[in-house]
């Protein structure tokens, strides 16, 4: 599998572990990971996991401040193979849906759409209001792939990591980087 450069944005929706597990998977597959964690992404990471931001940053190749609009990913000319926002808050989803690129995560996503690059969003909220649903429709029409943080159970998960990885594997398959361990439905015997 060829090495890819993947931008990962972790925002302040619940489920920071999805971003953590994706980064682990991307690194184990040999990819280059460029990371931005929003202020509220960092808060939820600390609140919900045993990891701190420094430990996560140590695992990636490049990290940017969410307000650094001079960073490479703020330009469509900067090469990225895919952009994944995981978890994606409703606020960040709204920014992307409306082209309101007020930080490096929404700007990188905006660039992905204009450059017709792969953009995967993993939104988490429940229940959804009509604004959330319409914003998911808008980004889908603009070319993004929406993979809700809604794990499957047919692979009989035993741990939270097993559950989370069912979403991580869906993300990996959409950025053309599936791994051998991915649970795959092969049909009933």
Ligand X SMILES: Cc1cc2nc3c(=O)[nH]c(=O)nc-3n(C[C@H](O)[C@H](O)[C@H](O)COP(=O)(O)O)c2cc1C
List interacting residues with ligand X (CB under 6 A): 11-14, 38, 40-41, 43-44, 47, 89-92, 124-125
CA distance 87 to 105: 12
C-alpha 10, offset from chain centre: 7
Question: Cβ 41 to ligand X, closest distance in Å?
Answer: 5
Report, in this order, helix, strand and coil percent for the chain, each rounded to 5: 40, 15, 45
Question: Cβ 47 to ligand X, closest distance in Å?
Answer: 5
> Judged by CB, which is closer to ligand X: 90, or 168?
90
> Judged by CB, which is closer to ligand X: 11, or 177?
11
Q: Facing residues of 119 across strands?
A: 83
Give the side-chain half-sphere CA count within 13 A for 71.
21
- Write b or e for each residue in 127-147: b if 16 or more Cβ atoms lie within 10 A of its Cβ, otherwise e: eeeeebeebbebbeebebbbb
> Judged by CB, which is closer to ligand X: 6, or 13?
13
Question: Cβ 184 to ligand X, closest distance in Å?
Answer: 28
Question: Cβ 49 to ligand X, closest distance in Å?
Answer: 12
CA distance 92 to 123: 9
Question: Cβ 69 to ligand X, closest distance in Å?
Answer: 14
> Judged by CB, which is closer to ligand X: 45, or 177?
45
> Judged by CB, which is closer to ligand X: 31, or 105?
105
- Cβ atoms of residues 62 and 34 within 8 Å: yes
Residue in the shown chain whose Cβ atom is closest to ligand X: 12
- Cβ atoms of residues 67 and 80 within 8 Å: no
As given in the structure block, the two tokens for residue 102 are: 């007020």
Question: Cβ 129 to ligand X, closest distance in Å?
Answer: 11
> Judged by CB, which is closer to ligand X: 32, or 43?
43
What are φ and ψ of residue 10, in 5° steps? -110, 120
């Amino acid at each position: 599998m060829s090495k890819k450069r993947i931008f990962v944005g972790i925002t302040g929706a619940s489920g920071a572990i999805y971003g953590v597990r994706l980064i682990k998977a991307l690194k184990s597959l040999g990819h280059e990971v460029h990371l931005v964690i929003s202020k509220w992404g960092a808060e939820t990471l600390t609140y919900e996991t045993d990891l701190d931001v420094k430990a996560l940053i140590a695992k990636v190749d490049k990290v940017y401040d969410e307000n650094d609009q001079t960073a490479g990913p703020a330009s469509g000319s900067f090469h990225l193979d895919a952009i994944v926002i995981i978890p994606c808050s409703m606020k960040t989803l709204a920014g992307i849906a409306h082209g309101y690129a007020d930080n490096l995560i929404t700007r990188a996503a905006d660039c992905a759409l204009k450059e017709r690059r792969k953009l995967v969003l993993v939104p988490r909220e429940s229940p959804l209001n009509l604004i959330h649903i319409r914003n998911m429709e808008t980004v889908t029409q603009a070319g993004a792939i929406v993979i809700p943080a809604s794990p499957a159970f047919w692979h009989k998960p035993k741990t939270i990591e097993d559950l989370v990885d069912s979403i991580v594997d869906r993300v990996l398959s959409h950025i053309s980087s599936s791994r051998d361990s991915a649970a795959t439905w092969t049909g009933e015997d």
